[in-house]
Amino acid sequence: MEPYGSSKWPDPDPPRPHFLPPAADPPEPPAPRPPIKHSSIAAILFFLGILGLVCAGAFFGGELQQFLYGSSETQSQPVRPGLAPFGQRDDPLPGQEEADAPLGAPPPVVHPSSSYKFLAVKEDGTPLAYSPCRPIHYVVNSDIAPASWQALVERAVQQASWATGLKFIYDGPSSEIPSPNRSGYQPERYGDRWAPVLISWSTPEQVPRLTGQTVGLGGSSSIGLSNGYKAYVTGTVSLDAPQFADIVDTPNGDEIGVAVIMHELGHLVGLDHVDDPRQLMFGQASWVRQYAAGDLTGLAKLGAGPCSKDF
């Protein structure tokens, strides 16, 4: 997904959150994958019930890096958040809703598998993840969604929450349109907190990366503290409304729609594509409808990240 507007994001002085500095040892770039086929065969298979799930996954690594590493522009915010009054700072008061212990836990991994990949790995080798000690709030822009959207989102979120142990809270509808420059702090719209995750049905005109066969995009943005703590704070899942409508109109269309959202939520919490067609995080058309062994192994690790009250 698109990185959030780096120039709008806060970079307060330590020890408050700021953009992650350029890393000397950047994460290994995603393995090259064959280009996504836009063939009529794929379209036919799609209507036979194959999950026509095509993400711009190849773009994820680079874009996420661009966000994580920020730019020189992002390093200049002088105001320490939490010290300036509301309305005069660029990120929320730290520690909101952060509990002393994780709110949930991923289930035991029954079938461990190495068939998963993280979008970003920290210097200590653990994956970049959301804090499990605070809920992930989300809003939905369903203006052009299919009528059944709410049940589909609820089912997908339930599965992602179960697999990670992360707690998700639906905050209701939003009229926000996804943007490549989306700010992670929008107090006028969402109050004094990190902006919630935005799940939206969009058009390729609104989200150019949905052009072509790409049904959805998902990903998150992160902060870093001077003590080395890093975590995702918000993100987006953008679904191609016209293509998604075609999906749910097919036999078993609801199942496929749920799987598409689950795949994007996998990206949201930190999973990258894998080249294994048995996994839901496979980046091309697939029959898979549920998180499989590799997905579940990775999601469990993403639900076991560290907590912090400092952001």
Which of the ranges 55-63, 157-165, 167-175, 244-252 carries the binding residues for Zn ion, by CB under 5 A? 55-63
* Least Cβ distance, residue 98 to Zn ion (angstroms): 29
What is the spatial distance between Cα 288 and Cα 279, in angstroms, rounded to a whole number? 7
The DSSP output letter for 142 is -
Question: Are the beta carbons of 224 and 196 closer than 8 angstroms?
Answer: no
* Least Cβ distance, residue 100 to Zn ion (angstroms): 34
The helix/strand/coil state of 220 is: strand
* Closest CA relative to residue 166, chosen from 118, 130, 220, 194: 130
- Output the DSSP codes for 278-293: TSTTBSS-BS--S--H
Q: How many residues interact with Zn ion (rule CB under 5 A)?
A: 2
* Least Cβ distance, residue 27 to Zn ion (angstroms): 17
The helix/strand/coil state of 23 is: coil
Cis bond before residue 15 (omega within 30° of 0): yes
* Interface with Zn ion (CB under 5 A), residue from 51, 55, 103, 233: 55
* Least Cβ distance, residue 283 to Zn ion (angstroms): 5
Closer residue to Zn ion in complex, CB, 63/91: 63
Instruction: Give residues with Cβ within 8 angstroms of 159, minimum separation 6.
Output: 258, 262, 265, 290, 291
* Least Cβ distance, residue 192 to Zn ion (angstroms): 32
* Least Cβ distance, residue 61 to Zn ion (angstroms): 12
* β-strands 230-240, 197-202 pairing: parallel
* Interface with Zn ion (CB under 5 A), residue from 12, 17, 27, 57: 57
Which of the ranges 25-33, 56-64, 183-191, 204-212 carries the binding residues for Zn ion, by CB under 5 A? 56-64
Closer residue to Zn ion in complex, CB, 33/193: 33
Residue nearest to Zn ion (CB): 55
Residues facing 199 on adjacent strands: 140, 237
Closer residue to Zn ion in complex, CB, 10/218: 218
Which of the ranges 53-61, 119-127, 149-157, 242-250 carries the binding residues for Zn ion, by CB under 5 A? 53-61
Closer residue to Zn ion in complex, CB, 133/156: 156
One-letter amino acid at 281 equals: M
Provide the binding-site residues for Zn ion, judged by CB under 5 A: 55, 57
